[in-house]
Each structure stands twice: as C-alpha cells, then as structure tokens.
Amino acid sequence: MHELSIVQALLEQIETEVTKSGESGSVQSVDLVIGRLSGVHVDSIRFAFEMLSPETIAAGAELRIEEPSATIACRACRHQEPVDELIMNCPACGSGDVVIQGGQELILQSIELEQ
C-alpha cells in the first residue's frame, strides 16, 4: 500500500508549509486533489491519514478530497468527454489518436489553521 508513504510525505509537507507560513495554531482541515486516474486509492488515503495524523500537527484535522475526472480528447474528430478510467480509443469515432488530459493530479490544495 503506497498510500501510507504518500500520507507520510503529506504530513511532512503540511508541517513544512505551516512552519514556513509563520502562523501558529492547529491544523483544522486539509484539502487534497486526487485525480481519478492517479492510481491513488482515496479510501486508503483516508485510512492512512486517520492512522498516521494523531501524533502530528494535523491531529484531528478534517481531510477533504476532491476527485476530478480526466478528459479524453480526440485529435481525429475533436470529441471531448470526461472519463473515470483509462481508455485508449475515442468513444465517438473509435480513433486511437487521443490525449488524456487531467485526472492524474495529487496536490495538497490548502491547509486551514485555527486562528
């Protein structure tokens, strides 16, 4: 489960960002963006966060996760459509000349501190 190492790195990044900000107070919430094609299991991230955060600056923080879809864009017919799984051919014309845009993000969007 690589999600454990992802959450360990996330908690280190949260601590680094809070320290850099010069602000004090406990972390109230953390917002992540995890694309549906990122290969990261959101439920495993939630579980790992609950397991690893209690001894950190993010103890008790709410974890909010946005899960954007990807978009398949066909170069042949110019069709675009949101997708939640990797597909190799255009759903409109069947062409293999497609590009997958987005859906692969893994971003720490924001950290909210108690003031």
pTM across the whole model: 0.86
- Domains assigned to the chain: 3-69+103-113 (3.30.2320.50)
**What integer pLDDT is reported at residue 92 of this predicted model?**
97
Which tokens hold the place of 99?
Answer: 């590009």
pLDDT value at position 1?
Answer: 54
Question: Which pair of structure tokens corresponds to residue 21?
Answer: 């900000």
Which H or E run includes 76? none
How confident is the model over 6-31, as pLDDT tens digits?
A: 999 999 999 999 999 988 888 999 99
What confidence score (pLDDT) does residue 25 get? 81
Going by C-alpha positions, the residue among 104, 78, 101 that lies closest to residue 90 is 78
Would you report the helix, strand and coil content of the chain in percent, each value rounded to 5?
A: 30, 30, 40
What is the average pLDDT across 75-96? 95
- Region 78-90 average pLDDT: 94
